[in-house]
Chain A
Amino acid sequence: MAQNVLKAVDIKKSFTGVQALKGVTLEIRPGEIHCLAGENGSGKSTLIKVISGVYTPEGGHVEYDGKSYKKITPIEAILNGVQVIYQDFSIFPNLSVMENLAFNTELASKSKLVNKKRMRKIAEEAIDKIKFEVDLDAKVGELPVASKQLVAICRALMFNAKLIIMDEPTTALTRKEINALFKIILDLKAQGIAILFVSHKLDEVFEISERFTILRSGELVFKGNTKDLDDKKFSYYMTGREIQIEPFEPKLTKQTKMLEVKNLTLNGYFYDVSFSVSKGEILGISGILGSGRTELALSLFGIRVVDSGIIKINGKEVAINSPTVAMENGIGYVPEDRLTEGLFLQQSIGDNIIISEIDNLTGKFGILDERKQSEEIQKWVKELSIATPNPDNACNTLSGGNQQRVVLAKWLARDLKVLILNGPSVGVDIGSKYDIHHILKKLADSGLAIIIISDDIPEVMSLSSKILIMRDGKISNTFEPSETTIHEITAQMV
């Protein structure tokens, strides 16, 4: 059997007393597609930095092609064929594709002067390796995300790479771009280059990986073939607890229509959209990036005012032309990027929870009533089990999942009729994700109408009582979750 391209044995590393890696072993064979998974804080980034020479491990050793190292510098890692493509791609947005590609080689050869001719040749050879067509004089900052990633891949290939490590490679890509990327990766595999994906969720990477290594709290919990792994086992290894995925069955049936829209149109984004959500229902809306799903949500919340169509709340027609009107009519919206759009991160958890109902928490003369406030805060911290020792702590001390709960609490503190969530579990790890799902199901059963917008198909499947697929700004299909499969939905999206 061929020797491993990389073998990290019994790696130990700690930071100021916290043991980030407690004796982890990772083996990568030539030309294999391997996935390193783990929740945030499981130690996967630390492990990557150890094998690429950024961190020196306190215990264990790393072998490249059988050569053993106790201590590695980044240069040694590169010379041994290890290349890391970080999530931000490490590119220079202000410089040309040519310079981005040629810098590393030019610097490695210690040239002092710029030789445009030689740099162009280097760049041409680099893009030729994956048949990537791009204007070498274009500024990288002006290219689409997928092309930026390809620039980074081309650059990685230039050093006779034997192992390319990719950190969350599919996060910012559309399905079509992901397929293109996978084709390139299979090409690389055919050339004998091993690929290591680093991911904190079970996503597209799953389709293409052959072997998995899963870390939890700095320890190795699973090592083996992808075919021995299913959703349930994966979740268990990632979180360390059994997670039961049960499809959502609304307890409240035959209820009044809470939100009804007819022929909604926002020119350039979506056309003729009609649907309704009843009390106790969870409606899932899915579609690829650019299908109009996000704009639809923004229109329902009054951020982008529709050009034509009717919106009815509880049977009454309303013109939603600003978020204030939407809120007055009992609509709440949890944005996709909750960190920049939904929360005041520097402010306390408590203040974030009561911000949307602050007008109701006043005493005489409109002065804020502190007792009322703290009662309200305590209620929601308990209700949504937000993990914090003290609600006076700043919001940014919480993990992604708990921040999401604070955003939820903020809206639930108001008397809501319809709650719209855009990407309810983006950037949240599996454990928290299922907790959030559980909360949402409970809320629906207590009488709320919920709309979730997500491109995470398994999430939509397990959460919704009805699924709408958007394509090119139109509703292309409607599904009952019990009567469809993930593959059918995915096929409908592109």
Chain B
Amino acid sequence: MSIRLKKLLRHNEFYIFVVILLLSFLIQSRSGQFYTPNNIVDIIAALIVPGLFAIGAFMVIVSGGIDISFPALASLSIYTTTRILVDIDYQGGILLPLVLTIIFGAVLGAVNGFLISRFKLQPLIVTLGVASMFRGFMQGVLKSVQIAVIPKGMSEFGTSSLFVAKNMETGLTSRMPTAIIILIITLVVVYFILNHTMYGRGLYAIGGNEISAERAGFNVKRIKFFLYVMVGIISSLAGLIRVSMMTQCHPTNMLGMEMMIIAGVVLGGVAITGGAGTLKGCMLGTILIIIVQNSLILMGIPTFWQGFFLGMLIIVGTGVSALQVKRLNSPKKGKGGDKYA
């Protein structure tokens, strides 16, 4: 029992969970608006797109890499999909848009994967360059503009809901988007891959020690290539959901989200150096960021303070775990002394 507790206390996820609880109680006590059905549903709805991005970013970080191109990749992929469908005056359901985004996401992710696995280039540099290329391609070659009316199948999917939550006191209602299903399916699939397939353990192994992974017999090149393909697909799905829920396609709307997403992942206890971290932590970190973004308003704090609080959370959150690691590694003066006493 006590060992279990000790184990729990050593995990970052636990602290993030405590912080989320404390923050929610604080907001609840100040506004009385946090633990209401519609607010909870709102937060979950707001989690869908950042959550998907975070899953992708998390997988890359676990493998010891970093990807900052996913918002640009998602933008290009969904813009192309929407443009094609609008141009052919597509009237069908969500299936074709879904298939198209997955294909575009896979192809664009393969660009990252090819450069990183084949030429062993630094992921930071590659994705920085690729992000810029994707943006430039979208704006220069595709002459991207806002698409105000998207295909009916997409907007119907984006606005459809599983259920509606109602706040009895205020009468406010919030819809739980159908798209949450995509987040849940992705979480289940990625959880299975990371923990129950040799491919997933390979990602952790590469993050721990790439040379050892190669010596042990992991096909490092192939693992890395498919990693970026997968991340491309997941990010594109996030793009599709974002556009469908907004019922319009704005080409630059998602750009710049990468820093906040990566911060959330790191906040969840995922080691930026690779090899360590859980999907649970990654999600908790993202939830914390969403709550700060969505709920400070409930406490009557002006929105421009959001950036300040987020920054502080990131420094404190990652700083505490860095200090923990440092303390674990430094020699213990007191302990050595017992021997001679």
Contacts and interface: CB of A to CB of B under 8 A. Distances in A.
Interface of A: 74, 86, 88, 90-95, 99, 103-104, 106-108, 111-114, 267-269, 271, 472-473
Contacts of A94: 204, 207-208, 271, 275-276
A93 B200 CA distance: 16
B204 A104 contact: no
A268 B212 contact: no
Contact of A93 (B201, B209, B213): B209
B337 interface: yes
Given A92-B275, A113-B198, 13 more contacts: A90-B216, A92-B208, A92-B209, A92-B213, A94-B208, A94-B276, A95-B208, A103-B201, A113-B196, A113-B197, A114-B197, A268-B335, A269-B336
A88 B201 CA distance: 21
Contacts of B207: 94
Given A92-B275, A95-B208, A114 B340 contact: no
Given A92-B209, A104-B217, A268 B198 contact: no
A103 B197 contact: no
B122 interface: no
Interface of B: 195-201, 204-205, 207-209, 211-213, 215-218, 271, 275-276, 333-337, 339-340
> SS class of chain B's interface: helix, strand, loop or mixed?
helix
Nearest to B213: A92
Contacts of B271: 94
Contact of A103 (B196, B205, B275): B205
Contacts of B335: 268
Contact of A112 (B198, B208, B215, B333): B198
Contact of B339 (A91, A95, A472): A472
B58 to A, nearest CB: 15
A90 B337 contact: no
A473 B337 CA distance: 10
Nearest to B207: A94
Contact of B212 (A90, A107, A473): A90
A142 to B, nearest CB: 8
A90 B215 contact: yes
A472 B338 CA distance: 11
A90 B204 CA distance: 14
B337 A112 contact: no
A103 B216 contact: yes
A95 B205 contact: yes
B335 to A, nearest CB: 8
A325 B211 CA distance: 45
Contacts of A271: 340
Contacts of B204: 92, 94-95
A108 B276 contact: no
A264 to B, nearest CB: 14
Contacts, number: 75
Contacts of B200: 114
A107 B199 contact: no
B212 to A, nearest CB: 4
Contacts of B336: 268-269
Given A94-B275, A107-B217, A114 B201 contact: yes
- The 9 A-B residue pairs whose C-beta atoms are closest, nearest first, are A94-B275, A268-B337, A92-B208, A94-B208, A107-B217, A90-B212, A268-B336, A114-B196, A268-B333
A72 to B, nearest CB: 15
A473 B218 CA distance: 46
Label chain A's interface by main secondary structure: loop
B12 to A, nearest CB: 14
Given A99-B201, A113-B197, A91 B209 contact: yes
A472 B340 contact: yes
A99 B203 CA distance: 13
Point out which of A99, A107, A473 has the most chain B C-beta atoms below 10 A from its C-beta: A107
B59 to A, nearest CB: 15
Contacts of B195: 114
A107 B337 contact: no
A74 B217 CA distance: 10
Nearest to A114: B196
Contacts of B208: 92-95
Contacts of A114: 195-198, 200-201
B199 A267 contact: no
Contact of A108 (B199, B217, B334): B217
B198 A106 contact: yes
A472 B337 CA distance: 10
19 contacts: A88-B209, A88-B211, A88-B212, A92-B208, A94-B204, A94-B276, A95-B204, A95-B208, A95-B275, A99-B201, A99-B205, A103-B205, A107-B217, A112-B197, A114-B197, A114-B198, A114-B201, A267-B333, A268-B334
B207 to A, nearest CB: 7
Given A90-B209, A92-B204, A92-B209, A107 B216 contact: yes
A488 B143 CA distance: 84
A51 to B, nearest CB: 15
Contacts of B217: 103-104, 107-108
Contacts of A92: 204-205, 208-209, 212-213, 275
Given A93-B208, A104-B216, A111 B337 contact: no
Contacts of B212: 88, 90-92
Nearest to B212: A90
A371 B198 CA distance: 64
B209 A473 contact: no
Contacts of B339: 472-473
A94 B325 CA distance: 13
A113 B200 CA distance: 9
A40 B51 CA distance: 52
Max chain B C-beta neighbours (<10 A), residue from A88, A95, A473: A95
Nearest to A140: B208
A95 B209 CA distance: 10
A453 to B, nearest CB: 18
Nearest to B332: A268
A157 to B, nearest CB: 15
B161 to A, nearest CB: 36
B340 A268 contact: yes
Nearest to A267: B337
Contact of A90 (B197, B211, B334): B211
A276 to B, nearest CB: 24
Contacts of B215: 74, 86, 90
Nearest to A99: B201
A107 B197 CA distance: 11
A267 B332 CA distance: 12
